[in-house]
Amino acid sequence: MSRGFAGRFEHVGQEEVSPLIFERSVPGARAVDLPALDVPAAKIPAGIAAAQPADLPQVGPMELVRHYTLLAARNFSVDANFYPLGSCTMKFNPPVNEAAAALPGFAGLHPRQDDVDVQGALKLLYELRLWLAEIAGLDEVSLQPCAGAHGEYTALKVIRAYFKDPKGGNAPGRTKVLAPDTAHGTNPASCAMCGANVVTVPSKDGRVDLDALRGMVDGETAAMMITNPNTAGLFDDTITQIAKILHDAGALLYLDGANMNAIVGVSRPGDFGVDIMHFNTHKTFSTPHGCGGPGAGPIAVRKFLAPYLPVPQVEKNGAGAPGTSGPAYYLSYDRAKTIGKVRSFFGQFSVLVRCWAYIAACGPVGLRDVAESAVLSANYLAARLRERFEMPYFDPGAKKFCAHEFVTVPKTLLATGVTLIDVAKRLIDHGIHPPTMHWPVHNCLMIEPTETESLQTLDRFVEVMLNIADEAQSNPELVKAAPHLAPVQRLDEVAAARTPVLTHGG
Ligand SMILES: Cc1ncc(COP(=O)(O)O)c(C=O)c1O
């Protein structure tokens, strides 16, 4: 029996409802009982041993479980809260995906196992490779990158290798990459990491300014990175013209596929002129994500870029067909012009399992339904909120609709002196995760409901937003002092981010 049980019950009163784990600490308490040592104790060499033991909290099993249960209950998550975080596609994550990823045959694999022992896993990866190529309308896919930004980085390396190859693009001087002013910050960051010279293309009414683009594409341009629908929630319907402008100049069109949720199953990037793209599988094809992970950012390319893809690639061996010898599926390193490895072993395998499970469950009709419902939900919300929350790009009367997300710049509300952070904090009082703020334009909220929210949830969100707009007029101080119902009130977020302090009750 662990000693952690002893002596704490009598102290549990109101003031101890949510102590820090350090405040729960009792010297000598343990949450686990380890078996007696059955090997000689090893001494940590003096040079690397800490001078003092780490000052860690010491708690029993119940304290430990309650600590984490309490934290989990306070956490904002898709499973507990409406989470309309624009550009992040925080959609429902079907538990069946988790069950698939947790199957012992997948979860227990070791990356160094022989191909012959992991045929099921390789088959899954091979099928996913083909499915993503089909969804993209492109020829070949690498599953290796482990996030959207990592997909961008890998794709830019592939583009660079293509232009440096005398038998490929044969234009090593092409180092310029264009990106619209609505681009996600990872786009210019990836360019910088790959040594590309990034140049910003201005937007006109939220979409790429074609005249400006024409004037910017030249013999040094390697590619343009575009997000479509873009981060203002608008589908760039001049995309085929954009592709032509680039292709006529010998440059490539790259799609940041973070917003594929709006078009998956409806239109294929390869069909509208894209040469290379990444998927954010953790968005479009669901995976619990947040705080930077876990994710997967496979890239899809046209045939002429395939020789430069990372290794290994999962392949199917004709010789492995029934009645022949050798494994049917195998990892191939045979790619002479490859950019090399971009990830240890094969990539983010369990996220790829979730992606496979999601696509398999949806099928082509279901995937199309995902996009159509996501777009419908966003347009419904925009239409209902528009009267009180001004929208620069949304006007159904003028046939200006949004894609799967929309931007509001609520000028009337802001004129009351209430700020967007106040609105965000007030939403927390209603158990709603705040939308993205100040991006892609200053003083905006970017709202992405996703296809998985019910009409009731969307209506409740509208009601809460309209209430906040009323409160901003009638009682702005109430909004400015929010949240009132959260465990902690206003925090100095800048100080918390810039000067984090680890503190405890000891
Ligand atoms: C438009 C866009 N591009 C790229 C990314 C980067 O993706 P990841 O967070 O998977 O690296 C995001 C992420 O939010 C995004 O919204």
Binned average pLDDT, 10 residues per bin, the chain of 506 residues: 33 54 93 93 91 91 93 88 95 96 96 93 97 98 96 98 98 98 95 96 95 98 97 95 98 98 98 98 92 87 98 84 72 96 93 98 97 98 97 95 97 97 97 95 96 98 98 98 92 86 58
Copy the structure tokens of residue 264. 């998956």
- Give me the pLDDT at residue 506, please: 45
| CA-proximal residue: ligand 1, atom 7 (nearest) | 148
What domains can be seen in the chain, in order of their start residue? Answer: 96-358 (3.40.640.10)
- Taking the CA of residue 88 as reference, the ligand 1 atom at the shortest distance is 14
260 neighbors 287 (Cβ within 8 angstroms): no
Residue 20: predicted pLDDT? 86
450 touches ligand 1 (CB under 6 Å) = no
- What's the pLDDT score for residue 451? 98
Token pair recorded at residue 138? 């492109």
354 CA distance to ligand 1 middle (Å): 18
pTM over 0.75: yes
**Looking at the DSSP assignment, which residues form a beta bridge with residue 178?**
199, 224
Q: Are strands 176-180 and 221-227 parallel, antiparallel or unpaired?
A: parallel
Q: For 114-172, give the secondary structure using H, E and C.
A: CHHHHHHHHHHHHHHHHHHHHHHCCCEEECCCCCHHHHHHHHHHHHHHHHHCCCCCCCC
Residue nearest to atom 13 of ligand 1 (CA): 88
Question: From the alpha carbon of 183, which atom of ligand 1 is closest?
Answer: 1
Decide: 348 in ligand 1 pocket, CB within 6 A: no
Q: 85 CA distance to ligand 1 centroid (A)? A: 12
Q: What's the pLDDT at 505?
A: 47
**339 CB within 6 A, ligand 1:** no
Q: Which stretches does DSSP call E strand in 258-364?
A: 276-279, 299-301, 313-316, 329-332
Whether residue 371 contacts residue 266, with contact meaning beta carbons closer than 8 Å, is answered with: yes
Task: Give the residue carrying structure tokens 């001087």.
Answer: 173
